[in-house]
A = this chain, B = another copy of it.
């Protein structure tokens, strides 16, 4: 893929659990090339702009698999809403309620969005096809039919993580609002 493709993949497909920006992507790709973990080549189709696509090397594949097997660090995730909620404990309860209600509204909006995407994906998994929107961003990884359906499923399953998490947060909002009402 190219740096631009990676950015798009992350923004469109992985935005519920990852982000990247060009300031990280392009320099990192160069570092990968320096370490011979990836190779770079110009791939400019006729009538197209200049593009550089990167491919993983044999050495890169080994490193990638090594990384996959390394213990996954779960950094402490900072949740500003939780911090505000905790610190609002000496203020009038109405402040805490307002905070939670805003959080609730945000999560509801996100949940709706994700559920729509999930519905699209579920339909395409059942019909065995892959929606065009995904072709644009997933085409690069592989093209065998069995693998394509597998990718679609993994895509769907990562979305499910986001959906279940947001439902949990909404359940928390309900619990808190009930608890604060007295």
Contacts and interface: CB of A to CB of B under 8 A. Distances in A.
B78 A19 contact: yes
Which 10 pairs show the lowest CB-CB distances between chains A and B? A168-B168, A89-B154, A17-B82, A17-B79, A19-B76, A164-B168, A161-B172, A72-B81, A164-B172, A89-B151
Interface string A94-107: 01100100110010
A76 B142 contact: no
Counting every copy of the chain, the complex holds 2
A86 B155 contact: yes
A160 to B, nearest CB: 6
Interface in A155-171: 155, 157-158, 160-161, 164-165, 167-169, 171
B175 A99 contact: no
B15 A76 contact: yes
B17 A78 contact: yes
Given A161-B169, A172-B160, A179-B157, A68 B89 contact: no
A46 interface: no
Contacts of A72: 80-81, 84, 99, 102-103
Contacts of A15: 76
B86 A80 contact: no
A119 interface: no
Contacts of A167: 168
Nearest to A13: B86
Contacts of A45: none
Given A76-B19, A78-B19, A90 B142 contact: yes
Most buried by B among A151, A155, A161: A161
Contacts of A153: 179
Nearest to A157: B176
Contact of A157 (B73, B79, B85, B154): B85
